[in-house]
Structure 1
Amino acid sequence: MAYGQTGAGKTYTMCGSLRSFDLRGIIPRSISSLFSLLEEQTGIEFSLCVSYCEIYSELIFDLLAEGGLEGQTGTELQIQEDSRGGLSVRGLSQRPCGSVSEALNYFYLGSSLRSVSSHGINSQSSRSHCIFTVYIQCKSTVNTAEATKISKLHFVDLAGCERPKKTQTEGVLLKESAFINKSLSFLEMVVVALGEKGREHIPYRSTRLTHLLKDTIGGNSNTCLIANIWPEKEHLEETLSTLRFSLRMMRVANKAVVNLAVDPLDVVKRLEKEVARLKQELQISNALLGKPPQSFEAPSPEEIEEMRKEATLFLNGEQEAIPFSSLRKMEELLHVIRSIFQETTAAIRREASYSGSVAASVPHSENSVGHQGALELAGNSKAVGATAPAKSVKEQSKASQQGSPQGAPSLAPKPVQSELQSTKLNSAGAFHSEVGYEDPSVGGHSLGIDPDQSEICHTQKAKETRQPTCSE
């Protein structure tokens, strides 16, 4: 990261001269060295991508977009954080590079689109902060189960702090200077906060620049600061300010760790190989112990049906034990037994529910049968009354009192008409009474056979009573 006063040589340090390749800067040289280092490595495969963004007046622009800067408003790109605290720009183009020349072409293409203006100190003054990022992924070709290493290399070219009196800016340039100085001031505040022990809140989100550099300053990274200063005495105050900022940066402690990304497909392959190896070891162990060979695959439908038959015989008591040769078969048998138990329980519940519904419908059918029997009984009483008229109820009561000693009622029931001695309708007992008998224990009188008693009232359908409900 290059930091310093405007016109101190930050862009030249990072990019170099655009007219001579021999005078190229840190970024082109780093790209060449990076490809050389990766190509020298054996047993790994790597992929490399680059991105180039510009922060101009608190707006982010993509310098490597397909259509260039046309159509960009600066609000399309948004900074987002992941669960590990890493930062990325959503929507920023990442161009894959397979060679040094391809990566350099992208770099020079983006550099040609940067915002540059002229003022009193610098004729080619950068009006924005630019970040050129190289993304690297390395994976071992020898050990495929090894995690992929992910690295990110930021090259930050900051705009220089400006004083309007010296730069003699006005209008749009003055507004640009205000945004530049504001972002640099918040950057210094972040560095100061990181240098204080016990500081909990760090104002990373104050500006787009500090937010985007969160994982670069004080995060999981190694940071190198290049301080660019003027040698002239007239810029002594700005030079001292740059050196103080450098001292504060030295107090910032970073914690750099290797970023590893695990591919789920690689994990699945590794676990499958481990399972196959363990199966092979178990087969060898069983063979040495003299055990029969076992199958570690899922049972077929035929095997499940055979186990179901064995379990049914065992549960019915027709078989003393179920033979099994492995723990897997025992587990499958337990599953089969549980399935049989669930099916039997469901069948019992269905049968109980059906029995309850049948019992609820029985009283209605009994009432209908009792009513029909009562009608038949009334018809019989008519027929008997036509041949042998019966005595009235009062006469029967008087006769019974005269035949008993001291007027006491007889304890034994007396038959009144032989044809009606025993009338029973059904086994359920809906209309279970012996018509023609009197029961002194109840205290009533026998109905007898009354010629006027031609019908039995419908209110006596399913009730047993000893008192007549119809008019005598």
Structure 2
Amino acid sequence: MGAIGGNESVQWDKMNGAEVVNGGGSGAGSLDRIQVLVRVRPLSDKEIARGEPAEWECINDTTIMFRSTFPDRPTAPTAYTFDRVFHSECSTKEVYQEGVKEVALSVVGGINSSVFAYGQTSSGKTYTMTGVTECTVADIYDYINKHEERAFVLKFSAIEIYNEVVRDLLSAENTPLRLWDDAEKGTYVENLTEVILRDWNHLKGLISVCEAQRRTGETFLNEKSSRSHQILKLTVESSAREFLGKDKSTTLVASVNFVDLAGSERASQAMSAGTRLKEGCHINKSLLSLGTVIRKLSMGSNAHVPYRDSKLTRILQPSLGGNARTAIICTLSPATSHIEQSRNTLFFGSCAKDVVTNAQVNVVMSDKTLVKHLQKEVARLESELRQPVSNSSLEAQVKEKDNQIRKMEKEIKELKSQRDLAQSRLQDLLQVVGDRDPKHQVFLLV
């Protein structure tokens, strides 16, 4: 299969208030800011028992305010504005419907998307991401059921990053996985399990496996603290049924990432020691790298972005500043004892909302269709060369066009060679099994 971009128009379908693509091709992409939301959890039983007040207040749908001044920084801002803020009585369903849905469901239209949960330990990240994942997948399957004119294939994979080691959560083996960089695919995880889904219940079972495999541990702040970053990836492929197997066949391919980050923590507050202390150091280091990447991206395109400082940022690079739509849910504890951590989370969110991504509709063509497209492009370039141009840079333009033509002719030759090889192997196989009936001969034509 070959991926290709074009200028075809994209038709949009309104699905319960969210825009999703239902056809078309890959455009040049559109600039889109990262969507940043804030969710404040209720006070925990421990915080209530200690008599801690709730210091943060959502004064409207977009602004959260600190009720007093920061003891160590009286001039620090006390009000922060985001795309949406959710007070402690809001349900996860509301967070999804009003803050995440539009971004997450871009995947059914061929646009990559990612949803993050970021915040200190015990602030409700895993709880939030579990609900958001369930809501998103339920809506994806609902969309599939309503669009019988398209054929869908869903694939699922899952990893965790524990102490800077990448593990496959769908594999019983505890083997560290390596990261590789590819010019076309970007950074990818080697030998990662990817399962083709049968239905929603199949996916639920796989997610349960991931939950059982993921590293958790007890700390003073959280009885079941996530000790690793978890990334669940759902890939959605769809094609129009009427064009399946035909020359015009194209496939929309995109992925949605559900990212449950481990929480930042202070060793003194979490009372960590030994293994927990080591885990906390790795967690804080990778989150520091993530924060640095976000700050650099928010500064503009001229700044160097250190994606390679951690495996987390390497894997998430497309979601942070590339071909994806992204939503980040910043989770907060309102308690007095977590003022500084909450302030750091809000600072991270303030930087993230200035980051711009360039999401595109991802269209994959069959080799046969791709060859025809390249042949048309060669003809167009040759036609341009035949047109008179009164320009001092004519020689350079001609050279550039010639290079493009040679490159495309090489691609066409390689594709035809692959076709001929496949046809030869098929004919050999038919001869071996003794099937020489002419009506069974198979010809691959371009």
Asked if Structure 1 and Structure 2 have the same fold, meaning a TM-score greater than 0.5 normalized by the shorter chain, the answer is: yes
| Band of TM-score, shorter chain | 0.5 to 0.7
| 1:43 positional shift | 2.1
* Structure 2 counterpart of 1:174, from 277, 282, 292: 277
* Structure 2 counterpart of 1:60, from 166, 169, 173: 166
Residue 193 of structure 1 contacts residue 199 of structure 1 at CA under 8 Å; is this kept in 2? no
Match of 1:3 in 2: 118
| Equivalent-residue separation in structure 2 for 1:265 and 1:95 (angstroms) | 27
| 1:198 positional shift | 3.9
Q: Provide the secondary structure at the position in 2 that maps to 1:202.
A: coil
Task: State the number of aligned residues.
Answer: 257
| Equivalent-residue separation in structure 2 for 1:226 and 1:270 (angstroms) | 42
Q: Provide the secondary structure at the position in 2 that maps to 1:213.
A: helix
CA change 1:226–1:271 in 2 (3 A) is closer
Residue 121 of structure 2 contacts residue 221 of structure 2 at CA under 8 Å; is this kept in 1? yes
* Structure 2 counterpart of 1:140, from 240, 257, 261: 240
| 1:85 positional shift | 5.6
| Equivalent-residue separation in structure 2 for 1:53 and 1:10 (angstroms) | 17
Residue 14 of structure 1 contacts residue 27 of structure 1 at CA under 8 Å; is this kept in 2? yes
Q: Provide the secondary structure at the position in 1 that maps to 2:327.
A: coil
| 1:153 positional shift | 0.4
Match of 1:89 in 2: 189
**How big is each residue's C-alpha offset from its partner over 1:54-104, in whole Å with a ceiling of 9 and x where there is no partner?**
100000000101xx1x4x232xx2223333464321211001102110111
| Equivalent-residue separation in structure 2 for 1:253 and 1:93 (angstroms) | 31
| Equivalent-residue separation in structure 1 for 2:250 and 2:187 (angstroms) | 21
Residue 249 of structure 2 contacts residue 366 of structure 2 at CA under 8 Å; is this kept in 1? no
The structure with the largest alpha-carbon Rg is 1
| Equivalent-residue separation in structure 2 for 1:271 and 1:182 (angstroms) | 47
* Structure 2 counterpart of 1:45, from 146, 151, 164: 151
After TM superposition, the structure 1 = structure 2 runs for residues 9-20 of structure 1, keeping only pairs within 5 Å, are 9-15=124-130
Match of 1:395 in 2: none
| 1:215 positional shift | 0.6
| Matching residue's letter, 2:164 | E
Is 1:247 matched with 2:373?
no
Residue 31 of structure 1 contacts residue 104 of structure 1 at CA under 8 Å; is this kept in 2? no
Match of 1:317 in 2: none
Residue 297 of structure 2 contacts residue 303 of structure 2 at CA under 8 Å; is this kept in 1? no
**How big is each residue's C-alpha offset from its partner over 1:270-301, in whole Å with a ceiling of 9 and x where there is no partner?**
999xxxxxxxxxxxxxxxxxxxxxxxxxxxxx
| Equivalent-residue separation in structure 1 for 2:199 and 2:122 (angstroms) | 33
| Equivalent-residue separation in structure 1 for 2:215 and 2:189 (angstroms) | 20
| Equivalent-residue separation in structure 2 for 1:12 and 1:260 (angstroms) | 34
CA change 1:266–1:141 in 2 (3 A) is farther
Structure with the greater relative contact order (CA < 8 A, sep ≥ 6): 1 or 2?
2
CA change 1:39–1:269 in 2 (3 A) is farther
| Equivalent-residue separation in structure 2 for 1:119 and 1:90 (angstroms) | 33
Q: Provide the secondary structure at the position in 1 that maps to 2:317.
A: coil
Identity %: 32
| 1:141 positional shift | 1.7
Match of 2:332 in 1: 229
CA change 1:260–1:231 in 2 (3 A) is same
* Structure 1 counterpart of 2:175, from 73, 97, 120: 73
Match of 1:434 in 2: none
Alignment RMSD (CA, Å): 1.9
| Equivalent-residue separation in structure 2 for 1:136 and 1:198 (angstroms) | 30
After TM superposition, the structure 1 = structure 2 runs for residues 338-377 of structure 1, keeping only pairs within 5 Å, are none
Residue 8 of structure 1 contacts residue 230 of structure 1 at CA under 8 Å; is this kept in 2? yes
* Structure 2 counterpart of 1:259, from 330, 352, 362: 362
| 1:200 positional shift | 4.4
| Equivalent-residue separation in structure 1 for 2:126 and 2:374 (angstroms) | 51
| Matching residue's letter, 1:180 | I
Residue 117 of structure 2 contacts residue 328 of structure 2 at CA under 8 Å; is this kept in 1? yes
**How big is each residue's C-alpha offset from its partner over 1:428-451, in whole Å with a ceiling of 9 and x where there is no partner?**
xxxxxxxxxxxxxxxxxxxxxxxx
Residue 124 of structure 2 contacts residue 331 of structure 2 at CA under 8 Å; is this kept in 1? yes
After TM superposition, the structure 1 = structure 2 runs for residues 404-415 of structure 1, keeping only pairs within 5 Å, are none
Match of 1:207 in 2: 310
| 1:266 positional shift | 4.8
Q: Provide the secondary structure at the position in 2 that maps to 1:61.
A: strand
| Equivalent-residue separation in structure 2 for 1:112 and 1:27 (angstroms) | 17
Match of 2:395 in 1: none
| Matching residue's letter, 1:141 | R
Residue 5 of structure 1 contacts residue 229 of structure 1 at CA under 8 Å; is this kept in 2? yes
Q: Provide the secondary structure at the position in 1 that maps to 2:134.
A: helix
Comparing 258-267 with 93-102, greater Cα deviation is found at 258-267
| Equivalent-residue separation in structure 1 for 2:323 and 2:159 (angstroms) | 21
CA change 1:26–1:269 in 2 (3 A) is same
After TM superposition, the structure 1 = structure 2 runs for residues 302-313 of structure 1, keeping only pairs within 5 Å, are none
Is 1:26 matched with 2:132?
yes
* Structure 1 counterpart of 2:252, from 149, 157, 175: 149
Residue 45 of structure 1 contacts residue 140 of structure 1 at CA under 8 Å; is this kept in 2? yes
Structure 1: gaps of 5 or more residues: 16-24, 273-472
**How big is each residue's C-alpha offset from its partner over 1:203-255, in whole Å with a ceiling of 9 and x where there is no partner?**
11110000000011111000000010001111111111101100100000011
Q: Provide the secondary structure at the position in 2 that maps to 1:217.
A: helix
Match of 2:25 in 1: none
| Matching residue's letter, 2:295 | V
Is 1:217 matched with 2:320?
yes
| Equivalent-residue separation in structure 1 for 2:288 and 2:366 (angstroms) | 41
